[in-house]
A = this chain, B = another copy of it.
């Protein structure tokens, strides 16, 4: 299995996703600013993976906090979390993970600094293990939407590399294959960062899932030819009404899917849902460096003197979404209600109330 991120001997180790598929190089962070830099420069990307990186970064930062004074420790830790939280704006898992780390910190603060530091490491590791378990539940629930023989179009990378492992959208595809279904994938190359070409194709080839690579502008052509049966994508933040922010281009795919009557699914854990945001209009969209569009590595491919816009995400309004695949099941419209119910269920599970013994064991591992 692909190891996207791990905690090893007081260091955070991540596969460098900028270097795939050419090289399998690992970035080792021994200080939390290195984790921030890794998130910012997309050594690691994908909402769930960013969440885990943030948690591990916070755990790393906590080790350097010297004062054996609860109030000062809290202040220091909050400062670190604020810094990490500012690394990228769109994926809500970043905030979600840091809030969970803060809760852990508060719960242990009275027991001495060494205890808090250890608890934070344990909590970050637990979030990684939980994420994999959640993705497997999501895959199990979501694979129902794939029929034997379907061709699924996906955009960007919502795979093992975007998560602690197994993946969201690709997890659903993996689960469909594991359930004995024949499934083929069309992968949009996903400009400008080429997550489809470099990451999704790489993952699927490793798993022997047939994958056809296309440029982003070909999706409509193949839909019109009747060659796409389902679209499944990930998400970086889902509003309370089901509007979903995901990699730039997802919205165009959703409009095209609607025009061709192709079911369009979003696969994401409940931690990607931001119930505080009522609709997608309020989701902040990151604008990234124009160089991603104007340059190929160090070579400028666009002439001097042009303007460039490089929004990294767009929002697909809930009306375009057939279902939201989460670890609690496939949410159906109206999403405002199904999301509310799912979050209530997920909250119960988090507190261990609705959790089966087997799940609890998975999480504890």
CB closest residue in chain B, given A184: B307
What mask results when residues 293 to 322 of chain A are scored 1 for a CB within 8 Å of chain B, else 0?
Answer: 110100001111111111100100000000
Q: Report chain B residues within 8 Å CB of A220.
A: 249, 251-252, 255, 314
The one of B191, B194, B221, B307 in contact with A248, judged by C-beta atoms closer than 8 angstroms, is: B221
- Judge if A201 is at the interface, Cβ distance under 8 Å: yes
Chain A, interface size category, equals 35 or more
Judge whether A216 is part of the interface by a CB distance below 8 angstroms. Answer: yes
> Would you call A217 and B296 a contact (CB within 8 A)?
no
Task: List A153-194 residues whose CB lies under 8 Å from chain B.
Answer: 155, 187-192, 194
- Is B302 in contact with A213, judged by CB distance below 8 angstroms? yes
> Given the complex, which residues of B lie within 8 Å of A213, measured CB to CB?
293-294, 302, 306-309
A197 to B302: give the CA distance in the assembly, Å: 5
Q: How far is the CA of A21 from the CA of B215 in the complex (A)?
A: 22
Which chain B residues lie closer than 8 Å to A309 at the CB level?
Answer: 212-214, 218, 222
A256 close to B (CB within 8 Å) = yes
Report the minimum CB–CB distance from A225 to chain B (whole Å).
Answer: 9
**Given A197-B302, A211-B306, A302-B198, are A248 and B21 neighbors across the interface (CB < 8 Å)?**
no
Q: Whole-angstrom distance between the alpha carbons of A216 and B196 in the complex?
A: 14
Asked whether A219 and B252 contact (CB < 8 A) given A212-B308, A259-B259, A309-B214, the answer is yes
The interface residues of chain B lying within 8 Å CB-to-CB of A86 are none
A210 interface hit (Cβ, 8 Å): yes
Let me know if B215 and A248 touch, CB within 8 A: yes
Q: How far does the Cβ of A201 sit from chain B's closest Cβ, in whole Å?
A: 5
Closest to A204 in B: B306
- Pick from B194, B217, B301: contact of A252, CB under 8 Å: B217
**Are A198 and B256 within 8 A (Cβ)?**
no
- Asked if B248 contacts A217 (CB within 8 A), the reply is yes
CB pair A224–B205 under 8 Å, yes or no, is: no
A202 proximal to B (CB < 8 A): yes
Contact between chains at A218 and B308 (CB < 8 Å)? no
Complex interface: chain B residues within 8 A of A215 (CB): 191-192, 216, 248-249, 293, 310
Chain B contacts for A219, CB-based, 8 A: 252
Whether A305 and B252, one on each chain, are in contact in the complex, defined by CB atoms closer than 8 angstroms, is no
Measured CB to CB, the residues of A under 8 A from B are 21, 155, 187-192, 194, 197-198, 201-202, 204-205, 210-222, 224, 248-249, 251-253, 255-256, 258-259, 293-294, 296, 301-311, 314
20 A-B pairs within 8 Å (CB atoms) are namely A21-B301, A189-B293, A191-B191, A191-B216, A191-B217, A192-B215, A198-B301, A198-B303, A201-B303, A202-B303, A205-B303, A212-B307, A213-B308, A215-B248, A218-B311, A218-B314, A220-B252, A224-B251, A224-B314, A255-B256
